[in-house]
Amino acid sequence: MSPHPTEEQRLILRTVREFVDREVIPVASAMEHRGEYPHALADQMAHMGLFGLNIPEQYRGTEVDYVTFSRIFTELSRGWLGLAGVIGTHLVLADVLVRFGTEDQKRRFLPGLATGERRGGICLSEPNAGTDLQNISTIATREGGAYRVNGSKMWITNARYGNTFLLLAKTDPSAKPAHRGMSAFVIEKGAPGLVVSRDIDKLGYKTVETCELHFENFPVPAENLIGGEEGHGFTHAMNGLEAERINVAARGLGVAQAAFEEAIRYAQQRVTFGKPIAQHQLIQAKLADMATKIEASRLLIESAAEKKNRGERCDMEAGMAKLFATETAADVSFEAMRILGGNGYSKDFPVERYYRDAPLVVIGGGTNELQRLIIARRLLEKYKI
């Protein structure tokens, strides 16, 4: 955010922070342990305009700058990573439509996405194609005024309760290189041929559903081909994922912040050998390292977000932010568990939830191994001899 945030920016962040403190934190762990989907909380987020964070006002959105965007995701994830996931992939679909959709597509889909009437997601990954999206095998074949989709997708957030999705499929399976034969579509539930299969049982990131989708001759109107031209789907997806990496980085920061706050609160209350453990140097060293990593993560995220605000290429910066902030989430949540000792391992305290949630942000949004490759590739371009 700029050194002088607007009153509107302050207001939305204050509103989200109060919502998280008042409505989310008190119920998050209990709902997560019950496997209960946060319908009421999602409805409140829709009422607050959070489903339209990157959608222009002319389409009923509440478009904010990317620094504010990242701070909102940090606040939501500080309360409950799964809740942030409800709008995470939804906003990737919105971002792709805003950037690449035809005017007709924007008018048809963006207002419903902005209000939360439409719940969105992205159908990219497949059983044999996650990080390597060029290896997808889902096919979309043109038949008159529609395409017929055949194939399977997995790891689809919002698959069960969502109704509108970004689908990446091959429209020219023989194209070389493969990405030139890939196209992106907006698909809607309702027509026969789309089956939401099992919910994937996960270590963490629970209650927000993650499912498999199966397509058998599923019809998609030709007017739902994003941009109206085949062969650009891979580019559309990659641009959407650049923004997603900023929001995944911010989610990691939120988890780390929550774990740190729990640890430093506990360290001042838990007494051993006659004094609070926060007065032991070993604990102080842990707290100092945790806080330093959190602040560094915040600065990396906001640096990438500022470049995104200026319309500059920021795949390297977004990759750095995603890599560092999510590794910080994993490190800090584990250190918080160690500070709490046995209580950190117990479901009576939220630290065990942060520890289980952290691996999702390390893996999701493009694995951190992939981020290192992206960063190195850009560095070699920048410092080419």
Instruction: Measure Cα distances from 76 to 15, 20, 25, 28, 91 in Å.
Output: 11, 6, 10, 11, 14
Q: Which residues of the chain have pLDDT under 50?
A: 1
The C-alpha atoms of residue 7 and residue 4 are separated, in whole angstroms, by 9
Residue boundaries of the structural domains of the chain: 7-115, 120-233, 235-382
Q: Give the pLDDT of residue 8.
A: 85
Which of 79, 25, 87 has its CA nearest to residue 53? 87
Do the domains 120-233 and 7-115 match in fold?
no
**SS3 (DSSP) at 155:** strand
User: If we measure between CA atoms, which residue out of 286, 285, 265 comes closest to residue 276?
Assistant: 265
CATH 1.10.540.10 corresponds to the domain 7-115: yes
pLDDT for position 4: 65
Residue 134 confidence (pLDDT): 87
Q: Per 3-state DSSP, what percentage of the chain is helix, strand, and coil (rounded to 5)? A: 60, 15, 25
Of 127, 109, 22, give the one whose Cα is nearest residue 60: 109
d(CA 253, CA 248): 9
Q: What is the pLDDT of residue 6?
A: 84
Beta carbons within 10 angstroms of residue 228's beta carbon: 14
DSSP 178: G
Q: How far apart are CA 249 and CA 293, in angstroms?
A: 13
**Distance separating alpha carbons of residues 260 and 258, to the nearest angstrom:** 5
CA atoms within 13 A on the CB side of 252: 36
Q: How far are the Cα atoms of 33, 219, 319, 329, 355 from residue 332, in angstroms, in the given order?
A: 22, 46, 20, 5, 9
Q: What confidence tens digit (pLDDT) does each residue in 111-128 have? A: 999 999 999 999 999 988
- Strand 146-157 with 210-221, pairing: antiparallel
Which pair of structure tokens corresponds to residue 380? 């070699």
- Tokens read off for 244: 């997603």
The CATH code belonging to domain 235-382 is 1.20.140.10
Of all helices (H) and strands (E), which one includes residue 369?
Answer: helix 368-382
DSSP 106-138: HHHHHHHHHHTSS-EEEE--BTTBSS-GGG---
- Position 207 scores a pLDDT of 84
* Residue whose pair of structure tokens reads 């989610």 in the numeric block: 251
Residue entry with tokens 């007065």:
279
d(CA 157, CA 88) in angstroms, rounded, equals 9
Quick check: 81 and 357 in contact, CB under 8 A?
yes
CA-to-CA separations, 182 to 124, 231, 365, in angstroms, rounded: 11, 5, 20
pTM above 0.85, yes or no: yes
| Closest by Cα among 250, 260, 252, 254 to 351 | 260
pLDDT attached to residue 1? 45
Q: How open is the CA angle 278-279-281, to the nearest 5 degrees?
A: 95
In contact, 341 and 305? CB cutoff 8 Å: no
CATH fit for domain 120-233, picks 1.20.120.80, 3.10.20.30, 2.40.110.10, 2.60.40.10: 2.40.110.10
